[in-house]
Amino acid sequence: MAYFHLKLVPSRSTFPHDATSEEMAAMERHSVYWRAQADAGRAIAVGPVFAKDGAWGMALVEVADEAAAQALADGDPVIAARLGFQFEIAAIPSLILRQVAAPAA
């Protein structure tokens, strides 16, 4: 398995502050999609990033290879909606993850 950072870049730097109803509907489907990826163990963390130069989305995923990371990006409903969003994918060669304690019995 390998780790990848997926950066979802919107079509403009003012998004989501001026999102259209069509974009918001696509983003709702996007959220459902990524929740399913997290539940399936493929997505480790997903969420918006409000940077000084504009907002963008990030996903940290654990998948077999870059093709699988690309397939996750391609399957995102916001990409399928063809609203000008695009993913940038970068490999993460090593990653330190925090250990999660087992729940008390």
> pLDDT at position 71, please?
98
Domains in the chain: ranges and CATH: 2-92 (3.30.70.1060)
In terms of Cβ atoms closer than 10 Å to its own Cβ (0-12, 13-18, 19+), residue 101 is exposed
> pLDDT at position 104, please?
77
Are the CB atoms for 1 and 93 separated by under 8 Å?
Answer: no
> pLDDT at position 105, please?
72
Look at residues 38, 50, 40, 46 and name the one whose alpha carbon lies nearest to residue 13: 50
> pLDDT at position 101, please?
79
Encode the chain (105 residues) as per-residue pLDDT tens digits. Answer: 999 999 999 999 999 999 999 999 999 999 999 999 999 999 999 999 999 999 999 999 999 999 999 999 999 999 999 999 999 999 999 999 988 877 777
Are the CB atoms for 54 and 15 separated by under 8 Å?
Answer: yes
